[in-house]
């Protein structure tokens, strides 16, 4: 998981916001845009996770999310099911954004410790 939390927390937060907005009734173009962003981010994170740390369960979760939100070969579900999928995925990305923020904040605080006090 450390490998995944190295990504900027803003990435997770932006994707989470896009997913939470998708619960509202919006034009179809928004959903296409959201699919491109979510699939791209989840696929990239899965790739980097597998490349950097081997087979870790988080990489498979991100690969699954990338497959679900694939804009080229779309998975057709009802609006109600997509709302649940969007909300759960949004919570997942929000949680990872929070965890990444905590890790990056601790790393930043550790970097600010003067050398004579370390």
Q: How high is the pLDDT of residue 117? A: 54
- pLDDT, tens digit, 9 for 90 and up, residues 63-100: 999 999 998 988 889 989 999 999 999 998 898 888 88
- pLDDT, tens digit, 9 for 90 and up, residues 31-53: 999 999 999 999 988 888 887 76
Helices 9-21 and 79-111: angle between axes, nearest 10 degrees = 160
Q: Is the pLDDT of residue 19 over 90?
A: yes
Average pLDDT over residues 103-116: 64
pTM check: above 0.85: no
What is the SS3 string spanning 53-116?
A: HCCCHHHHHHHHHHHHCCCCCCCCCCHHHHHHHHHHHHHHHHHHHHHHHHHHHHHHHHHCCCHH
Q: How high is the pLDDT of residue 69? A: 93
Higher per-residue confidence, 43 vs 54? 43
Taken in order 47, 49, 55, 60, the sign of the CA dihedral is negative
Q: How high is the pLDDT of residue 116? A: 57
Give the number of other CB atoms < 10 A from CB of residue 77. Answer: 12
Q: How high is the pLDDT of residue 48? A: 83
Q: How high is the pLDDT of residue 7? A: 76
Q: How high is the pLDDT of residue 34? A: 93
Q: Is 80 exposed, middle or buried (0-12, 13-18, 19+ CB in 10 A)?
A: exposed
């Amino acid at each position: 998981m450390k490998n995944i939390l190295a990504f900027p927390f803003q990435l997770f937060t932006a994707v989470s916001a896009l997913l939470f907005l998708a619960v509202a009734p919006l034009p179809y173009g928004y959903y296409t845009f959201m699919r491109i962003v979510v699939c791209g981010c989840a696929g990239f994170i899965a790739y980097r996770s597998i490349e950097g740390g081997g087979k870790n369960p988080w990489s498979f979760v991100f690969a699954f999310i990338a497959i679900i939100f694939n804009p080229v070969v779309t998975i057709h579900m009802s609006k109600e099911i997509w709302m649940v999928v969007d909300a759960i995925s949004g919570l997942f990305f929000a949680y990872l954004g929070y965890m990444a923020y905590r890790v990056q904040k601790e790393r930043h605080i550790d970097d600010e410790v003067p050398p004579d006090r370390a």
